[in-house]
Amino acid sequence: MMMTPTEYSRRLHEHVRGFFLGHGTRYQPCDHGPIQQALPGFHAIEVEPGPLLSLTAYVSVGSGADDTPGHEHLEFVTVAGEPSERHVELLAMTAYYHYTGERLGVGHTFPIGEPWVPGSKLDHMLVSLPYPFGPKLEYLSTDHAKARILWLLPITKAELEYKKRAGLDALEERFDSAALEYWRPDRESVV
């Protein structure tokens, strides 16, 4: 059954609100760049700090609304220490890249062309399983909607190069050993 973008959006909002019970959520529009021409109605859900997470999370809505046969309905989540429109813009950039360029999935990396936030050494993204949240957030599956939410983790160029040499598992082991504070834009590289 083909869903309208509005149905898809509504079901994704319900899924995110249900997962983040006790957190405030806000609709965050995104009109920067070409995202609205590629994916009309694209926006993000801003999840305020609450009982499950003391940080701010952002979830894309619309990157997975594409009904091209054979393509997974994929959305993205990112986490930040401070709320900022910057995170919505990065979700839009990622959704646009996913829709118009290479289809993203677990283990993909890409440069963002500038620091994650001003002053940060993190200037690449790693598409990862949403480890801070687990499969209850990762999978939306109802009779009318299916989507997968993957984590956008900001990384350094050195971490990217290490992943290329040693593999994703080795990089994730470094993250675990370092007790990675993934929300900190000033964190040091683990390699």
Return phi, psi of residue 183, to 5°. -85, -10
Q: Is residue 145 part of a domain?
A: yes
Specify the pLDDT at position 130: 97
Specify the pLDDT at position 182: 96
Q: Is residue 66 part of a domain?
A: yes
C-alpha 3/C-alpha 9 separation (Å) is 10
Average pLDDT of span 76-89: 96
Q: Is residue 170 part of a domain?
A: no
| pLDDT digits 0-9 by tens, 140-178 | 887 666 889 999 999 999 999 999 999 999 999 999 999
What are 56's strand-pairing partners? 80
Average pLDDT of span 46-57: 97
| Cα distances (Å, whole numbers) of residue 10 to 78, 134, 171 | 20, 22, 36
Specify the pLDDT at position 70: 64
pLDDT over threshold 60, residue 1: no
Q: Is residue 117 part of a domain?
A: no
**What b/e string do you get for 89-123 counting C-beta neighbours within 10 Å, with b at 16 or more?**
bbbbbbbbbbbeeeebeebbbbebeeebbeeebbb
* Cβ pair 145, 11 in contact under 8 A: yes
Q: Is residue 188 part of a domain?
A: no
In terms of residue numbers, what domain contains 149? 5-112+125-156
Q: Is residue 173 part of a domain?
A: no
Instruction: Indicate if the alpha-carbon torsion angle 160, 74, 59, 32 is positive or negative.
Output: positive
Q: Is residue 118 part of a domain?
A: no
At residue 102 the predicted structure's pLDDT band, cuts being 50, 70 and 90, is confident
DSSP letter (8 states) at residue 189: P
Average pLDDT of span 69-78: 84
Enumerate the H helices of the chain as residue ranges. Answer: 5-19, 35-38, 85-100, 135-138, 157-166, 168-177
In a 3-state reduction of DSSP, which class is residue 59? strand
At residue 22 the predicted structure's pLDDT band, cuts being 50, 70 and 90, is very high
pLDDT over threshold 80, residue 33: yes
In a 3-state reduction of DSSP, which class is residue 60? strand
pTM for the structure as a whole: 0.94
Q: Is residue 184 part of a domain?
A: no
C-alpha 149/C-alpha 62 separation (Å) is 11
pLDDT over threshold 80, residue 40: yes
Q: Count up the domains in the chain and report the number.
A: 1
Q: Give the mean pLDDT of the chain.
A: 92
